[in-house]
Chain A
């Protein structure tokens, strides 16, 4: 038996940097450094754990859609222990929305071949968290999403989904799309050996023609949503700051009463 796992990852602008929009209202990627989305590290980790705990022959492929620099995100995942990487890169992809991204990812996943797709719960830039569900819809396979625990055995994926109202146990047959939360388990740091090994691992580059996609199906023109304006939030006016000299709690109560919260 063999198990082919594809982990979808995203190269995102560093949230601790100064993020901006470009003139075409897409994210200005020149303005701030990028990195592997932190929430995708949990997906890589779970894929590696599934691989390590399996008696089957498991291959872990990391897949990203993004600009040239997105190779850095793939390299990080490879240095954590993934076996190979696929980079979908094409100038016509600039400005692609979530629906379009799910189209490109689904085509690439089908071309790569898969039994299990593992994604993070959301990207740390867009934060919508809808791509895993869109992938399941496009691929026509079960979605087993937002798992804090995941287990794969005998062609079945099981997991626990902790929602607001209830904690649910889920089960589906493979192939399936899984997404994992930041509660699924701390992601490992790449070892020196892992970093050295990653340099020799294969990274395939595909463009739109490799996926039988046309430029007008993706990109800013092909997006099903349009951003009309982006405005920087005005800096907050400086608030009142007091030093507690024994009456800090009472002073705060006075402020809250003045604002009608008490």
Chain B
């Protein structure tokens, strides 16, 4: 059976959920071989094996932390040359897409980004993408070289499928470009204790109607009652009420959770572009004419300052 390379997104050996989803998708088209780089790479093996990796190729060097993107491209290229895979899958993070793009160009292969589903086809893997603010669904394939495909978080359910996960050292020699862009400082983002926005199963968002940074506490309380991530519309971010890293929309993050709750968000096209593929959509808005109500499975026309605290209290009571 053909091998499929899966690029591992991890933090000091802790594998992030989108990588485990990729292993599930990879098994549809072949045998997953994982590539884990940098500090803690070897510690990823157990989780990767548990989810279907037959092999885990690892390499650590200071270059991965000290320089931007290119050292990882060099390593992935070495893995492609060592394995001759049927496809290369990379999580669709900003960095993941840059790594995948440079790799694809180097190995003379086409690239598909932001796939939301993947299946085996007669002429190689077929990727589903959601385009034009999720108003169209396309199916595409790579027509040249080894398909390089980046996949968005929440595109598949994580399935356990124990495999050998044998750790093998990957031999990497860095290119002249590897040290071109120095990382001269790094400040880790302070953890809020909430799930990562793009990976969360539930996202609770606030917009213009939240009307002030301090009022986001209401949104956060609802999110915490559901174990959800917090999102914000561009209007709320531009007003300085919530950090840009939480912005959902065309110029922010695109999310596709099981449940999306929009509070005080009108639903402009730019916002819809970032959340329209959510499975269940709920909105609370004072304006009955707000376009967000065209998208919802359930909508409440009302003041979020009344509805949201009542909802939070009811959820906490039911859980209690």
The answer, yes or no, to whether B309 is at the interface (CB within 8 Å) is yes
Q: A259 touching B308 by the CB < 8 A rule?
A: no
The answer, yes or no, to whether A22 is at the interface (CB within 8 Å) is no
Q: B137 touching A230 by the CB < 8 A rule?
A: yes
Once the chains are docked, how many angstroms separate the CA of A227 from the CA of B131?
A: 12
Interface size on B, residues (CB 8 A): 92
Residue in chain B with minimal CB distance to A146? B94
Over the window 96-107 of chain B, the binary record of Cβ atoms lying under 8 Å from chain A Cβ atoms (1 yes, 0 no) is 011011101110
Chain A: interface residue count, which band? 35 or more
Once the chains are docked, how many angstroms separate the CA of A141 from the CA of B140?
A: 31
Q: Known contacts A15-B250, A130-B111; is A249 also within 8 Å of B188 by CB?
A: no
User: Chain B residues near A183 (CB, 8 Å)?
Assistant: 244
Which one of A132, A161, A227, A231 lies within 8 Å of B140 (CB-CB)?
A: A227
Distance to closest chain A CB from B219 (angstroms): 14
Q: A171 touching B302 by the CB < 8 A rule?
A: no
Q: A133 touching B114 by the CB < 8 A rule?
A: no
Residue in chain A with minimal CB distance to B268? A16
The answer, yes or no, to whether A189 is at the interface (CB within 8 Å) is no
Q: Known contacts A239-B298, A252-B298, A261-B259; is A167 also within 8 Å of B250 by CB?
A: no
Among B41-49, B80-88, B155-163, B177-185, the stretch that binds chain A is: B177-185
User: Chain A residues near B258 (CB, 8 Å)?
Assistant: 261
User: Chain B residues near A240 (CB, 8 Å)?
Assistant: 297-299
Which one of A132, A226, A232, A239 lies within 8 Å of B143 (CB-CB)?
A: A226
The answer, yes or no, to whether B214 is at the interface (CB within 8 Å) is no
Distance to closest chain A CB from B310 (angstroms): 3
The answer, yes or no, to whether B110 is at the interface (CB within 8 Å) is yes
Q: A130 touching B139 by the CB < 8 A rule?
A: no
The answer, yes or no, to whether B215 is at the interface (CB within 8 Å) is no
Q: Known contacts A165-B11, A231-B136; is A172 also within 8 Å of B105 by CB?
A: no
Number of residue pairs A-B, CB distance < 8 angstroms = 260
Q: B177 touching A140 by the CB < 8 A rule?
A: yes
The answer, yes or no, to whether A127 is at the interface (CB within 8 Å) is yes
Once the chains are docked, how many angstroms separate the CA of A183 from the CA of B143?
A: 36
Q: Known contacts A231-B137, A252-B282; is A224 also within 8 Å of B111 by CB?
A: yes
Q: Known contacts A127-B250, A250-B310; is A145 also within 8 Å of B284 by CB?
A: no
User: Chain A residues near B180 (CB, 8 Å)?
Assistant: 141-143, 172-173, 176
Residue in chain A with minimal CB distance to B234? A182
Q: A248 touching B245 by the CB < 8 A rule?
A: no
Q: B282 touching A228 by the CB < 8 A rule?
A: no
Distance to closest chain B CB from A144 (angstroms): 6
Chain A interface (Cβ within 8 Å of chain B)? 15-16, 19-21, 25, 38-39, 97-99, 102, 121, 124-125, 127-130, 132-134, 136-138, 140-146, 148, 158, 161-173, 176, 181-183, 223-233, 236, 239-244, 246-253, 255-257, 259, 261-262
| Additional A-B contacts beyond A169-B183, A230-B137 (6; CB < 8 A) | A173-B180, A176-B181, A226-B141, A232-B135, A242-B301, A261-B280
